[in-house]
Amino acid sequence: MGKRTSENVLLDIALKNFYGAAEELGLEDSLVEILGNSERKLSVSVPVVMDDGTTKVFNGYRIQHSTAIGPAKGGTRFHPDVNLDECEALGMLMTWKCSLAGIPYGGGKGGIECDPLQMSKGEKERLSRTYAARIEPLIGTWIDAPGPDVNTGGQEMIWFMDTISKIRGKVEPALFTGKPVGLWGSEGRVEATGLGVATCALEFLKAIKKDPKGTTFVIQGFGNVGTHAALTLINAGATVVGISDITGAYYCSKGIDIKKAQQHASAHPKKLLEGFEQPGLEKIPAEELLLLEADILIPAALEGVVNKGNADKVKVKYIVEAANGPITPDADAILDAKGVLIVPDFLANSGGVIGSYFEWAQNLGGFFWTREEYNSRLLHIMKGNFKRVWDFSQERHVKMRRAAFMAAIARVAEAARLRGIFL
């Protein structure tokens, strides 16, 4: 049996973590072969007529890693760095995330290689609808139900859903999740991932018997996830001393006014922190944010931001991973040697997919919950998942990442055993 390797950072992380956990579980070779590969990999060309009349062709992808437990689930990102390997890695991570969360989904992921910040709304709509039409044969309520991801949101999900519904001649709201509340979306979905990240952070503080009051946080990435995580943390009494987005990093030793920062970003044409000010606030190089003095770092942007080049300079004692794969395997080893405790990504950021499951279930049933019902169910699941992984790690004397992988892989492997190999 040969182990796969990849030059892609995120896929390399995903494969190494999978093989390591599978070996520790004693997983049979046949299942290692199956789960170490994706069921389907789709590459599509996405031609778009631009506003200037020219036609540009973009690369689009959709991965279905595993459907052993249920239909594939995973977001769709618009970003210049999107590629097939990245999508496969994220699809694999979604399999483990859904398994760990105990929801009836497998893992998938997709995206388009583009820069949406340089595109008009009309160009993005044409891009979204053409992409949806290209991947339509693989999309279905009980096959693959994508959601939003980096640089996509409710509007894109409606374009996707509407396009495929028109192709099929019937409205299918459960095809995509993350839709606006006014069009089959769910109250609470927007803040679900950030709320889940913050809940894991707070449960972690409870486990190590540390009071949120007096605990300092640095959050890399002030998009949807980072913003709602920060708001939840300050409401619990914690202090956020550093935040960042593509415009740079912002630091205040006495604490950043997160509500003011949110208001500023919401009013900005591109939803950025550019121009944000408050007394005592310093703008610092983005790379320095990861190296600030604080108790907990929450990387909530892209993968591989903590790597062998900067891991030894990280000063925090704890990391809660909001992004997918923000710490490379080399950096993981360095941080472990320094005694840094890490709450892994597919545990901490699973609030989003749990929220997607809620929306999907409501769409299928045609009955919608209140925000209070939604959040109550989400917090219950997140707290239970955290406790299960924490207890497993303490009993087995393994890192939380390894504990989470082992628990998640074991559930998928059992489903694959029961269903067997066919076609």
Catalytic residues: 109
Are the C-beta atoms of 204 and 386 separated by less than 8 Å?
A: yes
Handedness of CA 200, 231, 354, 84 (dihedral sign): negative
Helix (H, G, I), strand (E, B) or coil at 174: helix
Sheet with strand 341-343: strands edge to edge: 282-284, 248-251, 239-245, 216-220, 296-299, 318-320, 341-343
DSSP state of 312: G
For 147, the token pair is 């959601």
Tell the residue number behind the tokens 């595109």, with chain if given. Answer: 119
Q: How far is CA 66 from CA 5, 30, 212, 364, 402, in A?
A: 19, 15, 38, 22, 20
Around Cβ 118, how many Cβ atoms within 10 Å? 8
Cα-Cα-Cα-Cα torsion 13, 381, 35, 194, nearest 10 degrees, comes to -30
Angle between helices 84-101 and 371-396 (to 10 degrees): 90
